[in-house]
Structure 1
């Protein structure tokens, strides 16, 4: 559970930390968009270099980013293997029974692997350098044009903020409950699939009970402080868009144009 770093913030004063959370969120969306134009070795190397440069500028240790990839290793390997062994296009390089590896399948597997890793790295960079409250303020600010359409902009930002805030807490609760159950003799990594699923039940029940209790306490605390939604509320944290934020967006657009020009048709 310690490897899950979603919702965790690493304090710092780097260039990435000082950016407006709206620019970082927009850069994240643009990165996810342009990454699908990277369909050859050159474009993937450019994206990898850009991501490594952003990580270096953030001042955050690379070990945190590898921790972010670790929970997704199973999904990444499954998707990569599916592309590798079931893509029949191209020249066969290896065959063993019904399994076959082609040059096109190998290339597609490498591209899919890079896309997963780079998206996880970039999203991890966003959460590690941006506080959950700032991220929710950015979402609320970017969705503000939808407010005349009766979209609950403030409530969406509040839900995002609470979700990110309590992910580490839920993980800590899960670890605490697992340790307590292990002390009582419960084995989570032994037996067949059915036995392992049954062993999860002693974790889920107290975890749900603890979550509902915490949610009820949070609701009471908000009501006691007179919370009534976003109407008429002032802002303690004022977002300030600077020229560095505009430069980041222009850099992402330039990166997208470069990848579009260099991508294989």
Structure 2
């Protein structure tokens, strides 16, 4: 409970925990789409304020969210650095060989950094407040119309639920393998970039081997219990839409309307 890993569920009592998983899935996808409509500092701050409000309602501390995002920080940093060094356009501040730092590159890197952070955080809010099986139930409900064109909805939702279920398990196992290699004298921070990547091989190989073993054991257990992917599925926990879900839907509409008002410069025209 001292860390929220992406994909893990935090069992606390909050308003977001009690919402219908269909509403939370809709809210997460809706928010991610709105992120790409933010075209200025004010629109970005407005969406960031909405995300912060959702994080407060989840009753999961901001520090815990950061500890869960931190393992993905290197991916974000590398992406931003590549955007800075290999983008062109605008005033050139520094240039060497094929690399350069330009005004447009700096602006685009900030946009990418912002989008990475808010999208990952919004997804973490969803997974931290919703059990993986409930997420699978919500996805199954949204994908029901696809059965008309013979899409294997049950198999898809099963794969998604298993993937979400084992994300924290795999990350925890990666940490254990890393600590075991450190106890044997491995220094992951020694050498240049290529040497550090090479040091990850003793971690990745046992991680992949254990993942395949776990998948085989899971498949054997499902066959032993008579699982048939083509049989009709039933659910022990039924989905129920409550008044709080309607209120949340209304808040998302308000968030969207104000976003496009700010985007269109309506507030600036009013102030003038």
1:158 and 2:151 correspond: no
Aligned to 1:88: 89
For 2:196 and 2:95, locate their aligned partners in 1 and report how far apart those are by CA, in whole Å.
33
For 2:6 and 2:16, locate their aligned partners in 1 and report how far apart those are by CA, in whole Å.
18
For 2:79 and 2:236, locate their aligned partners in 1 and report how far apart those are by CA, in whole Å.
44
For 1:83 and 1:188, locate their aligned partners in 2 and report how far apart those are by CA, in whole Å.
26
For 2:248 and 2:185, locate their aligned partners in 1 and report how far apart those are by CA, in whole Å.
53
Distance 1:55 1:3, change over 3 A: closer
Aligned to 1:210: 210
Contact 2:4/2:128 (8 A) holds in 1: no
Paired residue total: 260
For 1:112 and 1:197, locate their aligned partners in 2 and report how far apart those are by CA, in whole Å.
24
| Bigger RCO of structures 1 and 2 (CA < 8 A, at least 6 apart) | 1
Contact 2:154/2:233 (8 A) holds in 1: no
Q: Which runs of 5+ in 2 are unaligned?
A: 266-272
Alignment of 1:124-135 (within 5 A): 124-135=124-135
Alignment of 1:1-265 (within 5 A): 5-81=5-81, 86-89=87-90, 92=91, 95-97=93-95, 99-102=100-103, 107-229=107-229, 231-263=231-263
Q: What is the TM-score with the length of structure 2 in the denominator?
A: 0.84
Q: What is the TM-score with the length of structure 1 in the denominator?
A: 0.86
Contact 1:44/1:111 (8 A) holds in 2: no
Q: Mean Cα displacement is larger for which, 121-130 or 107-116?
A: 107-116
Distance 1:38 1:147, change over 3 A: same
Q: CA deviation at 1:234?
A: 2.1
Contact 1:4/1:71 (8 A) holds in 2: no
RMSD across aligned C-alpha pairs, in angstroms? Answer: 2.5
Contact 1:136/1:158 (8 A) holds in 2: yes
Is the partner of 2:22 in helix, strand or coil? Answer: helix
Contact 1:3/1:71 (8 A) holds in 2: no
For 2:110 and 2:203, locate their aligned partners in 1 and report how far apart those are by CA, in whole Å.
37
Aligned to 2:270: none
Contact 2:4/2:10 (8 A) holds in 1: no
Q: CA deviation at 1:107?
A: 4.7
- Runs of 4+ displaced beyond 6 Å: none
Distance 1:216 1:187, change over 3 A: same
Q: Mean Cα displacement is larger for which, 109-118 or 216-225?
A: 109-118
Contact 2:6/2:69 (8 A) holds in 1: no
Contact 1:5/1:168 (8 A) holds in 2: yes
Q: CA deviation at 1:244?
A: 1.9
Contact 1:68/1:121 (8 A) holds in 2: no
Q: CA deviation at 1:100?
A: 4.8
